[in-house]
Amino acid sequence: MYSPSIRNADSSPVGPVKETLAIGMDIGGTNCDIGFVNQHGACLRHISVSTQSHACFEGFRDATLAAIREHLQQLAGYRCVGMGIAAPGANSRNGRVTDPSNLGWPDICLTDAFGRFLPFPIYVTNDANAAALGEKKYGFAKDLNNFVLLTLGTGLGAGIFVDGKLLLGRSGFGGELGHTRISDETRLCGCGQMGCLETYVSATGLRRTVMELIAKYGKSSGALSHLDFHQLTAERVGQAAADGDILALEAFEITGSVLGKKMADWATVLDPEAFILFGGLTRAGEFLLDPIQRSFQQALSNFLRDPIPVVLSAVPHGEAAVLGACHISEFLHQTQEV
């Protein structure tokens, strides 16, 4: 994405050489984080725009554009080479967010919506792919060509690198591992199917597991049993586990065990160099990681017995998607060459 200088066809410089920057935007349900990142990966500015305080998408877009223009003016010594946008459900193939219902927006083409007002190219991808790009550029996966990054938050997302390229698939929905299934008839998923992995392995899935265990063991079964579903958070379950609560520990055991088995399946398909875990649920630490490791190793085929590390992300949670979004154009260029 970055070019060190601007030159005429005869290679003579056009004018003073400016350093370049790229803008990375991470649209979440509450806030939109925007980073202005130089070619060395340093974030020069980091701002946040509310995604909830606007009546419609156009209101959000205009507030975002005003903030971007203001900061670009203050960074006049830099030349902006492009902007990458990460959003849940966003599709790199067509620039659209296909189901932005949690944001209260209609189906939107983000590349058009912002591209009409900004004099540089706009690129779009989903939040898990952006986190994987951030990990590839700045984190544990810097020297890896084959890895799976799992985002364990409200849902379960994934960014998959295969032979050095981000997997997008035919229509841009490749790598939706949260909607691979673990059973046919248990929990209903937001995608309309039954038994998707993210109905177990996500903050929401963990809460559902706790509620099932409370129903199984009774109301006096521990520190969590007096809470209703809305009071129950993944943080509370993590704290209860840290205090030795048997029910909370069992909930993490179930969650980790289910994920470890699925990771062994994906290892058979992808032969990765590492699995990288990212997102709020990983704050549970060993309570989640230990059952994942046990179940993963037990379910792994014999021919894959060479150690496949399962590690936590090395990029700060608040920065991974913003940093990764700055590099979307690099991987798009790669995938178009295939």
Q: Does 177 bind Zn ion (CB under 5 A)?
A: no
Among positions 196, 237, 310, 315, the unique one binding Zn ion when judged by CB under 5 A: 196
DSSP label of 307 = -
CB of 193 to Zn ion, least distance (A): 5
1 near 81, Cβ under 8 Å?
yes
Angle between the N-to-C axes of helices 203-217 and 246-270, in degrees from 0 to 180, rounded to the nearest 10 = 130
- Tell whether residue 194 is a contact of Zn ion (CB under 5 A): no
**In this complex, which beta carbon is closest to Zn ion, that of residue 193 or of residue 268?**
193
Angle 335-33-67 from CA coordinates, rounded to 5°: 105
Least Å distance, CB 183 to Zn ion, is 12
**Cβ proximity to Zn ion, 157 vs 256, nearer residue:** 157
CB of 65 to Zn ion, least distance (A): 34
Span from 57-65, 121-129, 130-138, 183-191 in contact with Zn ion (CB under 5 A) = 183-191
Q: Please tell me the distance from the alpha carbon of residue 123 to that of residue 335, in angstroms, as a whole number.
A: 13
Q: Work out which of 47, 81, 144, 191 binds Zn ion, going by CB under 5 A.
A: 191
CA–CA distance, 80 with 73 (Å, rounded to integer): 11
Size of the site for Zn ion (CB under 5 A): 5
In the complex, minimum distance from the CB of residue 144 to Zn ion, in angstroms, rounded to a whole number: 28
**Pattern 275-294, Zn ion, x by CB under 5 A:** --------------------
Residue with smaller CB distance to Zn ion, 30 or 193: 193
Distance CA 313, CA 297 (A): 20
Q: What would the x/- binding string for Zn ion be over residues 111 to 150, using CB under 5 A?
A: ----------------------------------------
CB-based burial of residue 53 (10 Å sphere; 0-12 exposed, 13-18 middle, 19+ buried)?
exposed
As a whole number of angstroms, the distance between CA 321 and CA 53 comes to: 22
Which residue, 20 or 126, is less far from Zn ion as judged by CB?
A: 126
Residue 179 interacting with Zn ion (CB under 5 A): yes
* Part of the chain binding Zn ion (CB under 5 A), chosen from 7-15, 61-69, 89-97, 186-194: 186-194
Sequence-ordered strand ranges (E) for 4-110: 19-27, 31-38, 43-50, 78-86, 96-97, 108-109
Q: Please, what's the b/e burial string for 199-236 (b: 16 or more CB within 10 A of its CB; e: otherwise)? A: bbbbbbbbbbbbbebbeeeeeebbbbbebeeeebebeb
Q: List contacts with Zn ion (CB under 5 A).
A: 179, 189, 191, 193, 196
